[in-house]
Amino acid sequence: MAKNKSKSINTAPKEVKKTIKKEESMVAKVEVKTHRDSEKVSQIVGAIFIFLGVLLVAFGVYSFVKYSSTPELNESLVSPSVSEMVAVTKESVITVSGNATGYDTVYVYVNGEKVKDAKVGTNGDFKADITLEKEGEYDITVAGVKGFPKRYISAQSLVEKITVDKTAPLLTELTYAKEVGTQTFTVTGIVEKDAQVIVKRGTDYYSATCDADGKFKIVSIALDSGLNVFNVVIKDIAGNESVMDSEIKVTYSPDSSVNGDAVNDSSLPVAAGEFSRMTDFLLGNNLVIVFGILALLSGITTTSVLYVKSKRE
């Protein structure tokens, strides 16, 4: 028995087939044309962005070079001002501050060499910490910088001098009576110029400032009966401090003939300011001096009388 075969029969007229093929061909052409136009627009837009990017990069490089280069000096610009600084310090890190209104940056110089940049705040103030490692005297100045991309710099400000001193003061001389018959005593000595010397015991302390030669004198230091022990602390103007290893030990004995506020020398009268004690000393212990003075007066008188007589003759 033969199998039945089914076939699809295209019954569309030839004219309809031609029309369909033609329409499909037109759609394909339209789609191709639309894709190509979009691609061309994208290429144009991309080229524009690339060109703008190149311009921006070129401007950035130019600005960076100009901004990074040494600013041009403009002497007509007003120099920034530096706030007053301590004259002497023991610190290694120093703060430089001041006002630089109209500038965006401040250059800080030490002995003429630039060491730091500092940004200027909206109120015109600036602050920069610089390090001075070694002891010695330094000149601090600043200059204002502004402008973009070309930079301009002002002349440097007035010099602020600062001395770095990290050495503790040294006591080179100390004099006082170790046993006195008065309720107070005096300490004298030599340290260094403008140093402060403090003598203290418990909560009591006495101080003095050294003169231009480093000499000091502390008077009327109160004593209790018996042995009194004091510590000595020395501070210089830089803030360095030293404490004496040895203590001041003074004994107050009412039977002692030494005045604590005078020179401790048994061959001299006690400088207590008492006239009676001075006369007692002269008349009681040094009658030879009195007789010597009388002899001198007698000699002068005799010579004067002889001279008058010779003139009359």
Of residues 276 and 251, more confidently modeled: 251
pLDDT category at 249 given cuts 50, 70, 90 is very high
Check whether 276 has a pLDDT greater than 50.
Answer: no
Query: What local confidence, expressed as pLDDT, does residue 134 receive?
Result: 94
Of residues 279 and 56, more confidently modeled: 56
H/E/C letters for each residue in 113-144? EEEEEEECCCCCEEEEEEECCCCEEEEEEEEE
pLDDT in tens, 253-273: 988 888 887 644 343 333 333
Check whether 62 has a pLDDT greater than 90.
Answer: no
Query: What local confidence, expressed as pLDDT, does residue 107 receive?
Result: 97
pLDDT in tens, 203-247: 999 999 999 999 999 999 999 999 999 999 999 999 999 999 889
Is 197 exposed, middle or buried (CB count within 10 Å of its CB: 0-12, 13-18, 19+)?
A: buried
> Could you tell me which residues come within 8 angstroms of residue 104 by beta carbon, excluding any fewer than 6 positions away?
119, 120, 145, 146
Contact 216, 233 (CB under 8 A): no
Task: Tell me the pTM.
Answer: 0.58
Which whole-number Å values give the CA distances from 46 to 38, 42, 59, 303, 308, in the listed order? 12, 6, 20, 129, 133
CA distance 235 to 173: 15
pLDDT in tens, 45-54: 777 777 677 6
Phi, psi of 95 (to 5 degrees): -95, 125
pLDDT category at 292 given cuts 50, 70, 90 is low
pLDDT in tens, 154-198: 999 999 999 999 999 999 999 999 999 999 999 999 999 999 999
CA distance 61 to 54: 11
pLDDT in tens, 88-103: 999 999 999 999 999 9
pLDDT category at 27 given cuts 50, 70, 90 is low
CA distance 139 to 51: 51
**Spatial CA neighbour of 164 closest among 140, 191, 142, 141:** 140
Query: What local confidence, expressed as pLDDT, does residue 256 receive?
Result: 85
Contact 96, 85 (CB under 8 A): yes
Is the bond into 169 cis (omega within 30 degrees of 0)? no
CA distance 179 to 229: 12
Tokens standing for residue 7: 């076939």
pLDDT in tens, 113-168: 999 999 999 999 999 999 999 999 999 999 999 998 889 999 999 999 999 999 99
CA distance 82 to 8: 103
CA distance 237 to 70: 40
Residue whose pair of structure tokens reads 């600036």 in the numeric block: 126
> Could you tell me which residues come within 8 angstroms of residue 164 by beta carbon, excluding any fewer than 6 positions away?
88, 89, 90, 91, 92, 132, 134, 135, 136, 137, 138, 238
Check whether 40 has a pLDDT greater than 90.
Answer: no
| Dihedral sign for Cα atoms in the order 170, 215, 85, 136 | negative
pLDDT category at 59 given cuts 50, 70, 90 is low
Distance between first and last Cα of the chain: 207
